[in-house]
A and B are shown apart, each in its own frame.
Chain A
Amino acid sequence: MHDKTLTQLANALDSGELSSRELTEHYLQRIQQSDAMLNSFISVTADHALEQADAADQARAKGNAGFLTGLPLALKDIFCTQNIKTSCGSKMLDNFIAPFDATVVEKLKAAGTVTLGKTNMDEFAMGSSNESSYYGPVKNPWDLTAVPGGSSGGSAAAIAAGLTPAALGTDTGGSIRQPAAFCGITGLKPTYGRVSRYGIIAYASSLDQAGPMARSAEDCAHLLNAMAGHDARDSTSMARGVPDYTDTLSAPLSGLKIGLPQEYFGEGLDPDVEKAVREAVSVYESLGATVREVSLPHTHYAIPAYYVIAPAEASSNLSRFDGVRFGHRCDNPSDLIDLYKRSRAEGFGEEVQRRILIGTHTLSEGFFDAYYTKAQKVRRLIRQDFLDAFEDVDVLMGPASPTPAFDLGANKDPVSMYLQDIYTIAVNLAGIPGISVPAGFVHGRPVGLQILGTHFAEAQLLNVAHQFQQITDWHLQRPAFAEESA
């Protein structure tokens, strides 16, 4: 049953062919059998999951079931969950039990979903390989010597391995789309403000956004239905109606105007990845779409702008971890400053400390205008590139990442790791939505096609992705790992 999509499982629950308890037990058993190899979960919440499953089965028996009722999923360990550890992949929060649920967690619970557990991630979502986690790296189920991508690497790997049918991730610079590409699953980063950030441990508040990760665009549409919407507790969530994202999945694509940003097909792109992406684009042409080249001239400046803005926001957000109110505290502090300094030095890993230091430095007196204000101006130019492109085309397409999943340990230098996010980072700076869908393989490792739309174009992206998945089967392929461990 773990080779089925969320939508197929929902149908099986609906027809009575399967109970939520059976489904939940099956996935819990799979996690127990195979996750030691992958390390995709930080916490498995078996008892809690079975309680939720029984409640879902009872609701269904009474005729009170919605589409998601009784379906299991996993949460990236960045979402606060009441009475369940929320570590954010950090030693700092290894002992943190959140006193409340994030808004999206609350919404998914209300929709009747079952939480299997919390997935592994780069520490505080800072990474592109899941190697910065305090709980150790996650392995890619397609090739255990490869990374799963990051920062939502645990969520992506668990779905690919059939340990959960779906999961939530967050995306600040590519952290849903790049691991989705590396693990051969579908992952959507919604428009900034589409999904509430309340209760999601903040990395860079003007860039962070939560989104669904699953086996298909249709599954993502069902999850986004439950996740999206205004939240009075997040002042940046947009007060804007939420459509039913499944309504438009079947809309025909004839006449769709696709733009290929020339900057996304240049130097540094693996030729085999390019070939897979161009073949995917030609599938769209067969569906009646037209394709033209466009330019996003400031693409080259997205990574430099991001590495000012994101660390600046992070240095401020992470100042809350002070060893006083929650989280790690050092032993025998001599005074309050010593308590702060040693608790933070012991609790944060190297990459997190690096970003706090960059952010603190670039925001400090004498450097603020040259770095932070300059980066915010460039950010406007980057956003304008996209807005100009969407005057002429409906969606943009390109690779989600310049290469397939790289080997564990391959990018030891921070700057070379940062450059991995070349095609995803500008999207967060602009606040637009993006989706990665499986589009082939290179040497046995998956390739992701990234599709971008203008602000609040999630329904269109899901439609465009779904139509591709109606006539291709890349998204249905499973790694040998998922079969052998059955």
Chain B
Amino acid sequence: MALEDSHVRRAAHLARLAVSDEQASDFVEDLSRILDMVDQLQSVNTDGVSPLAHPLDATQRLRADEVTESNQRDNFQRCAPAVENGLYLVPRVVE
């Protein structure tokens, strides 16, 4: 599956990465080589094989629905770039 410039630009937008035109063409080249390597997978016969998501085929355990965490807002916001009155500051979203 050949990778096109539009694929890289779409992925960059979905992943919220600013990519210049020059970087985009470098990424097309690098990612194409990686995907060519990955395409070897297509030659494996996987008929009747189910996908493996967890190496031990384990499923999620459920825990009791109880409050176990305390409120640590100040502690957790100490590493944020900009906060005010316990809120994260970002550029205005709604005019």
Q: Which residues of A contact B (CB under 8 A)?
A: 95-99, 191-193, 206-207, 232, 235-236, 238-239, 298, 300-301, 303-305, 307-308, 315, 319, 322-329, 333-342, 344-345, 348, 353-354, 356-358, 360-362, 364, 367, 370-371, 373-381, 383, 413-415, 418, 428-432, 455
Contacts and interface: CB of A to CB of B under 8 A. Distances in A.
A373 B52 CA distance: 9
A340 B46 contact: no
Interface in B32-70: 33-35, 37-42, 44, 46, 49-56, 58, 60-61, 63
A335 B91 CA distance: 5
B93 interface: yes
Contacts of A429: 55
Contact of B56 (A98, A193, A329, A381): A193
Counting chain A CB atoms within 10 Å of each CB, the highest count among B1, B18, B38 belongs to: B38
A304 B41 CA distance: 6
Contacts of B60: 235
Contacts of A357: 8, 11-12, 15, 17, 27, 31
Contacts of B11: 357, 360-361, 364
B2 interface: no
Contact of A373 (B16, B51, B61, B93): B51
Contacts, number: 179
Given A192-B54, A326-B80, A333-B91, 16 more contacts: A206-B54, A301-B44, A324-B88, A327-B79, A334-B91, A335-B93, A340-B16, A341-B17, A354-B31, A357-B15, A358-B35, A360-B12, A374-B46, A380-B51, A431-B54, A431-B56
B34 to A, nearest CB: 6
B90 A336 contact: yes
Given A206-B55, A360-B14, A378 B41 contact: yes
Contact of A345 (B17, B52, B81, B92): B17
Contacts of A383: 52, 55
Interface residues of B, number: 52
A339 B91 contact: yes
Contacts of A236: 54, 58
Contact of A353 (B17, B54, B56): B17
A364 B7 CA distance: 10
Contacts of A193: 55-56, 58
A381 B54 CA distance: 13
17 contacts: A96-B79, A99-B78, A192-B54, A192-B55, A319-B16, A323-B81, A324-B88, A327-B81, A344-B16, A345-B17, A353-B19, A361-B31, A373-B51, A377-B51, A380-B52, A418-B37, A431-B54
Contact of A337 (B16, B19, B38, B56): B16
